[in-house]
Amino acid sequence: MHSLSQLRSGELAGIRQLKLAEQLTSFPLEILSLSSSLEILDLSNNNLSELPDELVQLTKLKVIFVSQNKFDHLPKVLGKLPNLEMIGFKSNQIKTVAEESLPAQLRWLILTDNIIETLPNSLGDRPRLQKLALAGNQLTELPQTLAQAHNLELVRISANRLTECPEQLLNLPKLAWFAFAGNPFSTIDNKTANRALNSVPEVSSACYTLENVLGQGASGIISKAHWNTPQSQFPSDIAVKVFKGEVTSDGYPQDELQACLQVGFHANLVQSIAQVNETDTLALIMNLIPPHYKNLGLPPCFKSCTRDTFPEGFSLPIVLINKIVEQMENVFTHLHNNYVCHGDLYAHNTLFDPENGDIIFGDFGAATSYQMLTTTQQQHIKKIEHRALNHFIDDLLNICAEEDKNHTLFQQLEQRLEPNT
């Protein structure tokens, strides 16, 4: 985090990345003095509602975050920035997105949690577009031009007002991560919903006490917890995921809970044992994962955009990779046998035992039940997620130990990948 006083004193001259959060109500024109170097600008958590036309002076700018501000429109000046690739205007009050506001080099657009009703046709005319996050808006349709967004790989359209499945997305050749719950077209019937919700008992939030935080994501915080009184029907070691507000970057927490319960039990999935469904608390109680399980991967970065990253120097032997892949393929089959698209099939959502390669897969924040779709649409959804599975395999092969790359198992896994992975 930087300060306005640092900027004004000239202390920040030549920096590539600037982050300011000081309840700003107007854009500090001193930022323009960084035009020869600035590539990433983060003005999130302020009170801005406009960007000046002078922003075009930031010709090297590639990334701009202006989340948690007061914009009611996506500024047109953004479309004039020649190198701008990533735009993040999450949690504003944006209602309109003009044709001119989308830069030619757009690769990553985040407009989650606004009040957008329509999007311009120019969105489909951005050939580099890879990642599109639109959850939590008021969209009733998507531009038909998205059918030509052939590089689009990740889409979040949950928690909108779409009455029909957007067919223009289903045949996209690279789409691999797709979340669409919480729309009229993806509403499941009460019988299916009740069957899932009744699969585990409800308990009171007063039954347990939260301890240390184990992890957190877009939809909630997972903590270790203990029962306040002995519970004979449940294991003593538990974790509790307390869901956040009404809408997240992936959709509604209630849809995540529904999908998580709908898939039922599988040895390689985080096991849900109870739920809390109170006015002010929505939570899922799960078996506590043993501490020796580690994250298999790290989330994508600016450069990789949609693909996982891994720690420097991290590698795995091909025997472990093969075992991990076999387990994930079984998980994939189990999910889709239960008509659930996970939407976030990634190594960074996978925990593994470094000793034996056993995995536990979780994080259903982007998951969607899809049995309400037509048979043809269901086949498309499964094909989309199978592409994510192939990327998962490809990412693991890329961290395979060098001495194992001529191994028969390595060659067999390579041959199973689709040509466009």
Rounded (to 5) percent helix, strand, coil in the chain: 30, 20, 50
Biggest distance spanned by C-alpha atoms of the chain:
66
Paired tokens of 222: 């997972």
Residue 28: exposed, middle, or buried by beta-carbon count in 10 A (0-12, 13-18, 19+)?
middle
Cα 338 to Cα 262: distance, rounded to the nearest angstrom:
7
Paired tokens of 379: 């086949």
Cα 28 to Cα 4: distance, rounded to the nearest angstrom:
8
Cα 306 to Cα 299: distance, rounded to the nearest angstrom:
8
Of 322, 317, 361, the C-alpha closest to 343 is 361
Residue 218: exposed, middle, or buried by beta-carbon count in 10 A (0-12, 13-18, 19+)?
middle
Cα 251 to Cα 156: distance, rounded to the nearest angstrom:
8
- Write the CB contacts of 191 (distance below 8 Å, at least 6 apart in sequence): none
Is 241 within any annotated ligand binding site? yes
Residue 417 DSSP one-character state: S
Cα dihedral 415/417/420/421 (nearest 10): -130
Annotated binding site: 241
Annotated binding site for ATP: 241
